[in-house]
Structure 1
C-alpha cells in the first residue's frame, strides 16, 4: 500500500514538470537509446535527454521536459 501511494505521488509530481525547463547535470550516455543521455535536474530527478549533440558527464544542459515515465522525466535540449 505504501509503495503504491509513493508511486502515485511520484507520477503526479513528474507530470507537473511537463513543459518546464530544467538545468540537467549529464551523468552518462543511455544504454538503451543512441542519442540519449541520462542526468539529474536540480530536484535530483532522473532526466533522459534527447539530443543530436554529444555530451560528456559533468556537463550542464538546459532541457525542456516533454513527457514522463513512472520514474523518469524525458525532454529535449533547448
Structure 2
C-alpha cells in the first residue's frame, strides 16, 4: 500500500475542503439534491482528519499491457 507524503495529504485536505465548502454553499442556496453528497464529503473530511482512509485499487487496475501509449489495448 502506498501512503501520501505530508504535502500530498495537505493538498488533498485543502482541495476537499474547497469542494465541501462549495457544495455546502449550493445546498444552503437551495440545491437540496446535493445534501447526500455534502454528507459524504463531510464524512471523507473526518476520515482524512483522523488519518484512517485506505483506498484499495480495483482488481486488475495495476495490470499493465505491452502496448505503447496511444495504441489500442
Please say whether Structure 1 and Structure 2 have the same fold, judged by a TM-score greater than 0.5: no
Structure 1 or 2: larger strand share? 1
Question: Which structure has the higher relative contact order (CA within 8 Å, separation 6+)?
Answer: 1
Structure 1 or 2: larger helix share? 2
Max Rg structure: 2
